């Protein structure tokens, strides 16, 4: 039963079937590219923090989906939303430090907003079924 969830209009057989997971993985790629040219002094600071927080989003979606039931999945989706907010905050800090152009920040935040809305929708569906 692990990893099998009925979500929205169809059955999800695997976390890779979740559109929110797919979007989150794509967002991580954009974050990595955006942070690639930041100062080397930030390699173990802000760059590392943002990358870890962004990777945590799809990772928690996947881990939650593979758990035993909806309650655990909900907990991991909540953690994913927290990691997303953490990454957004760090991106804003990076822009204020002039590591990131405003336009790039806006694009990254728009992607994060979309993922956040999708996570909220998935959480609502799972809570509805409980």
Q: Give dist(CA 59, CA 112) in Å, integer.
A: 15
Q: The tokens 């890779």 sit on which residue?
A: 16
Residue range 85-127, pLDDT digits in tens: 999 999 999 999 999 999 999 999 999 999 999 999 999 999 9
Q: Which residues pair with 97 in a beta bridge?
A: none
What tokens does 81 get?
């939303």
Q: How far is CA 95 from the centre of its chain?
A: 19
Average per-residue pLDDT for the chain: 91
Domains and CATH numbers, the chain: 5-129 (1.20.1440.60)
Tell me the three state secondary structure of residue 11: strand
Q: Which two tokens stand for residue 45?
A: 């600071």
Model pLDDT, residue 94: 97
Convert the pLDDT of each residue in 2-16 to its tens digit.
343 445 434 667 899
- Token code pair at residue 63: 């881990």
Instruction: Tell me the mean pLDDT in the region 29-57.
Output: 97
Q: Alpha-carbon distance 21 to 104, whole Å?
A: 22
Q: How confident is the model at residue 24 (pLDDT cuts 50, 70, 90)?
A: very high
């Amino acid at each position: 039963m692990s990893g099998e969830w009925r979500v929205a209009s169809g059955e999800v057989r695997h976390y890779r079937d979740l559109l929110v997971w797919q979007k989150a993985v794509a967002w991580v790629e954009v974050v990595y590219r955006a942070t690639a040219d930041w100062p080397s002094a930030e390699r173990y600071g802000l760059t590392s923090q943002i990358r870890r927080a962004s990777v945590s989003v799809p990772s928690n979606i996947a881990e939650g989906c593979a758990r035993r039931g909806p309650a655990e999945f909900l907990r991991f989706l909540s953690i994913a939303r927290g990691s997303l907010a953490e990454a957004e905050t760090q991106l804003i800090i990076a822009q204020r430090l002039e590591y990131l152009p405003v336009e790039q920040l806006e694009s990254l935040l728009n992607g994060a907003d979309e993922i956040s809305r999708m996570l909220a929708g998935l959480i609502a569906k799972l809570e509805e079924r409980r």
